[in-house]
A and B are shown apart, each in its own frame.
Chain A
Amino acid sequence: MSEPELTPRQQRQKLFLASPSSLDDKELLTFLLSYILTEERAADTAERLFAQFGTLEAILCAGTDRLRDAGLSDAAAVLLRLILTAQSVSAASDFASLPPLTTAKETGRYLVRLFAGCDTEHLYMLLLDENLRVIDLMPVSEGNVTCVDMKARDMAARAAKRNAAYVVLAHNHPSGNTTPSDADLLSTEIMCQALSVLEIPVLEHFLVAGHAWRPLLLAMDRIPEASPADYYPPELVQHMKGCDKNRMGF
């Protein structure tokens, strides 16, 4: 008995299940869209989106309005926007089940997911226990374009109430720019000082821009003495030393 011929969709599913990396970005998007569009329309739409936006990342970050302007139905635009939203919502709601963030690299990787697809500036405070497990995640503020304002007292109060051993600050630059502004550096300074009264060290302040992140305290040569051993892998320290202070990202 001969094997029945597979449709393009079934072929993609077979390849995907064998190894997701065997589908390139466009095939992956076509496969995803084929859940709500016919095979032919899914392929056309993926083609069109890549022509307009360039990369998978740009398509998924585009936002529902721009996707609808590009001719997508509400259902398709919402599906594409939900892909990165699912990552950021799960990162924000499931912090309690995270493994400890024992190095700056693991923290940076987690934060990239937390800020996935975010198109406004947000500031988060992560509270960690002595084993560097995240015990609380506080969204401090959402800025409009370039500024997030710190609420030092509220943040210190939360850290005290939760008995945090360490604090990690994180904010994002939706523009993809990993250069900190003067306000970023000043706010880091204010929080470090406020929390030093409580003897809670700010382990790091991460600036996240798309897939890139930058540890500001390390960049400023301001690593707290109390930081746990091995938090900064030697290659990261080396990388930051070799960087132009104004251009680095990791």
Chain B
Amino acid sequence: MHHSEQVNAGHRNRMRQKFILQGSRPFLAHEILEMLLFSAVPYKDTNPLAHRLMDRFGSLQSVLEAPVNDLLTVPGMGTHTAVFLHLVNETGLRALYRPARATPRRYGDYRSLGEYLISEKEAETSAPPVRALLFNNRYDLLASVSMEAPQVTAPSFSLKELARCALRHDATLLALVTSHEGRSAFPTPEEVDITKEIQVSLKMLGITLLEHYILSGSHYIGVSRKLVNGFEDNPDLCTFFRDAPDFPEEPV
């Protein structure tokens, strides 16, 4: 590798790490273009080409929308790179404006998440008694974490661990799952109280407790259904509970 190539490799790596850590905010439009060009132009410094493109077309949008033949008139542009820019734009617009068949979210509401938990439980032999499912705000399941406690009411249940875990995974939505094997799925008063506590504490950290599910056999009951008051202001919860049944009467 020539010295200049090494310098460029270091520069590319630094820009990528900055993007991974900070997102697009610290970057100007021409820097986004410079970074895109890394993929089409190996080794060379892509900054001058990014500037030439911006100067010629006036804006990032015009560069992305430019026909391949127009792009080719810019010094330093070959077909390989011109097609690449066209491809970047086409792929972006396709994902934005032609949403492929709406895929139903497996976990996006009370019933489907509850039913998913039951089906998962039936497939598994040894599920931990208490665990947390962590989601981002698109309801993608980020992780399923065992909470190392026999019950949420047990002294070994650690709210701190739960919160740390959620933040480490960048989760914004969370569901707790407790197993009541051998007894009713109906929550105990202590479970209701602690669920409320967890809900309030997580909310302060910007994490929404979607539901605390209690599973028993092939039944599930969500504790939060009993607590929700004022969730109308949280659109995530509104949608989550849209078709949920009312909290059941206490079994005699």
Contact = CB atoms under 8 A, between A and B. Distances in A.
Interface of A: 13, 16-17, 20, 25, 28-29, 31-32, 35-36, 54-58, 60-66, 68, 74-75, 77-79, 81-91, 93-94, 97, 109, 112-113, 116, 119, 144-146, 173-177, 179-184, 210-211, 246
A88 B20 contact: no
Interface residue range, chain B: 35 or more
Given A60-B95, A97-B58, A181-B232, 12 more contacts: A16-B86, A25-B100, A28-B90, A60-B91, A82-B88, A87-B64, A89-B60, A94-B61, A144-B206, A146-B235, A176-B138, A181-B235
A154 to B, nearest CB: 19
21 contacts: A20-B87, A20-B90, A25-B100, A28-B90, A31-B87, A35-B39, A55-B99, A66-B140, A68-B20, A75-B12, A85-B32, A86-B88, A89-B29, A90-B59, A90-B60, A119-B136, A145-B137, A176-B139, A177-B235, A179-B235, A182-B232
A211 B96 contact: yes
Contacts of B84: 35
Contacts of B38: 75, 79
A49 to B, nearest CB: 13
Contact of A29 (B61, B91, B234): B91
B19 interface: yes
Contacts of A181: 232-235, 238
Contact of B40 (A29, A31, A35): A35
Contact of A86 (B36, B86, B100): B36
Nearest to A56: B95
Contacts of B64: 86-87, 90
A214 to B, nearest CB: 12
Nearest to B33: A86
Given A54-B103, A85-B32, A175 B137 contact: yes
Contacts of A184: 235
B4 interface: no
Given A144-B206, A174-B137, A181-B234, A87 B93 contact: yes
A113 B96 contact: yes
Contact of A182 (B36, B68, B233): B233
Contact of A17 (B33, B83, B233): B83
A146 B208 contact: yes
Contact of B170 (A28, A65, A82): A65
A204 to B, nearest CB: 19
B236 interface: yes
Contact of B61 (A62, A64, A90): A90
Nearest to B27: A89
Contacts of A35: 39-40, 84
B146 interface: no
B138 A84 contact: no
Contacts of B40: 35
B172 interface: yes
Contact of A77 (B20, B32, B103, B142): B20
A90 to B, nearest CB: 4
Interface in B104-131: none
Contacts of B68: 17
A66 B86 CA distance: 26
A90 B66 CA distance: 14
B95 A183 contact: no
B92 A116 contact: yes
B91 A32 contact: yes
Contacts of A82: 19, 32, 35-36, 88
Interface in B10-35: 12-13, 16-17, 19-20, 23-24, 27-29, 32-33, 35
Contact of B60 (A17, A94, A146, A182): A94
B156 interface: no
A79 B39 contact: yes
B59 A93 contact: yes
A112 B98 CA distance: 12
A14 B101 CA distance: 27
B234 A91 contact: no
B96 A183 contact: no
Nearest to B139: A175
Contacts of A86: 32-33, 36, 60, 64, 88-89, 92
A207 B24 CA distance: 22
Contact of B172 (A61, A65, A145, A211): A145
A13 B68 CA distance: 12
Nearest to A86: B32
